[in-house]
């Protein structure tokens, strides 16, 4: 419990730091950032109105306190260009990004778990070599190269999917970039548990191999695997941002890229904070899952409490 409280406090402090840093970003720019915004974006909004919108007409600390109050009420400000509230824009875009990340997570799991288990069951075999090859290849494939390759393959040569606006291709691209590393991690963790656990005795009793792999290999390793997958939430979202720009998927990444190009600071600040919050929450979720499904950690926590 003390560990959970400590990690929760650390997460809250990190979120507060990110919140303050995002607010200080505009003020840290050299010169008058509003003059740069007007010159580069071509907006016709008067500078004084922009200054009020960004709370630059007040000292930093009072403006920060007002922003905290607004954020706690779900008010993330108004877009400087569309003049629409930022919260609905973020909600719609984040929903699209979340759909993409979850679909990619399912595909990555379907690719990584069978390959990792087969590789763990056959050290030095074909599945083991395929796992090593696939893991290295997926880690080396840059998204700006993999995305267009999938577009050419499945939207031009084999026109199965449209070139943009469909979830299948971006989810597949995102799944490929992470599933190779996941498969190798599953292989190593399952192989370790099979060597030191009850797997040899189960095999001697005639238990089917697939049941040995799942019950005596994958299940005992699920705690550390779930912790790793939880920490990958932020990475999946970051990868989704790149994928969205390649496949024209209207998610949070596309919204933030457009906001950066147009210097729409309220959208940038709120989107950056939301992304960082999801990443930190994913890490906390991974830690909780590891504690929940790893009996060794529960035993250690009990001993620490008693002592």
Give the residue from 72, 104, 127 where a domain finishes.
72
Is the domain of 51 the same as that of 166? no
Tens digits of per-residue pLDDT, 168-205? 888 999 889 888 888 999 999 888 888 877 777 887 78
Indicate the SS3 state at residue 234: helix
- Does 257 reside within a domain? yes
Give the CATH number, domain containing residue 112.
1.10.3720.10
For 19-68, what is each residue's pLDDT tens digit? 888 778 766 766 666 776 677 666 677 778 777 777 777 788 888 888 88
The answer to whether residue 82 is domain-embedded is no
The HSE-up count of residue 272 (CA atoms within 13 Å, CB side) is 19
Contact 262, 41 (CB under 8 A): yes
Domain boundary residue among 72, 107, 129?
72
Domain membership of residue 133 (yes or no) is: yes
Q: What share of the chain is helix, strand, coil (3-state, %, to 5)?
A: 80, 0, 20
**CA–CA distance, 130 with 12 (Å, rounded to integer):** 42
In-domain check, residue 273: yes
Residues 160 and 206 in one domain: yes
Domain count, the chain: 2
Please state the rounded mean pLDDT for residues 11-21. Answer: 84
DSSP 201-227: HHHHTT--HHHIIIIIIITTTHHHHHH
Based on the fold, state whether residues 61 and 153 are members of the same structural domain: no
Candidate from 45-49, 69-73, 134-138 with smallest mean pLDDT: 45-49
Residue 127 placed within a domain: yes
Residue 279 maps to a domain: yes
Query: Do 131 and 280 have their domain in common?
Result: yes
Q: Do residue 7 and residue 149 come from a single domain? A: no
Is the separation of the CB atoms in 239 and 177 below 8 Å?
yes
CA dist 7 and 59 (Å) reads 33
If you average pLDDT over every residue of the chain, what do you get?
80
Domain contains 121: yes
Question: Looking at the structure, do residues 92 and 67 belong to the same domain, yes or no?
Answer: no
Tell me: the pLDDT tens digits for 232-260? 766 677 667 778 888 888 888 888 888 87
Same domain, 60 and 116: no
Which domain-ending residue is among 10, 43, 72?
Answer: 72
What domain range includes position 55? 2-72
145 and 263, same structural domain?
A: yes
**17 plus 42 within the same structural domain:** yes
Q: 54 and 198: one domain?
A: no
The backbone region for 124, taken as left when phi is positive above 0, alpha when psi lies in -120 to 50, beta otherwise, is left
Please choose, from the candidates 233, 252, 237, 241, the residue with its C-alpha nearest in 3D space to the C-alpha of residue 147.
241
* Same-domain pairing of 67 and 101: no
Query: How much is the average pLDDT of 106-134?
Result: 91
Residues 92 and 63 in one domain: no
Residue 78 lies in a domain: no
């Amino acid at each position: 419990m003390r560990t959970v409280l400590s990690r929760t406090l650390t997460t809250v402090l990190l979120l507060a730091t990110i919140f303050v840093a995002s607010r200080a970003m505009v003020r840290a720019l050299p010169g008058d950032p509003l003059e740069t915004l007007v010159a580069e974006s071509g907006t016709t909004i008067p500078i004084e109105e922009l200054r009020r919108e960004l709370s630059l007409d007040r000292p930093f600390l009072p403006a920060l306190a007002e922003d905290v109050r607004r954020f706690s009420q779900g008010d993330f400000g108004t877009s400087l260009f569309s003049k629409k509230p930022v919260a609905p824009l973020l909600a719609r875009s984040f929903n699209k990004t979340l759909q993409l990340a979850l679909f990619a997570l399912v595909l990555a799991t379907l690719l990584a778990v069978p390959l990792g288990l087969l590789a763990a069951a056959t050290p030095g075999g074909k599945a083991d070599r395929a796992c090593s090859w696939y893991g290295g290849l997926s880690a080396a494939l840059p998204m700006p190269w993999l995305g267009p390759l999938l577009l050419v393959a499945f939207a031009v040569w084999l026109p199965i999917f449209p070139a943009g606006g469909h979830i299948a291709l971006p989810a597949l691209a995102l799944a490929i970039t992470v599933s190779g590393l996941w498969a190798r991690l599953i292989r190593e963790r399952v192989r370790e548990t099979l060597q030191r656990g009850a797997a040899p005795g189960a095999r001697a009793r005639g238990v089917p191999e697939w049941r040995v792999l799942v019950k005596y290999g994958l299940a005992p390793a699920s705690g550390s695997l779930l912790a790793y997958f939880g920490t990958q939430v932020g990475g999946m979202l970051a990868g989704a941002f790149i994928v969205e720009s390649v496949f024209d998927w209207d998610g949070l990444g596309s919204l933030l890229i457009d906001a950066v190009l147009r210097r729409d600071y309220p959208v940038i600040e709120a989107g950056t904070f939301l992304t960082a919050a999801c990443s930190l929450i994913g890490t906390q979720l991974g830690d909780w899952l590891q504690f929940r499904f790893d009996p060794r950690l529960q035993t250690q926590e009990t001993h620490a409490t008693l002592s």
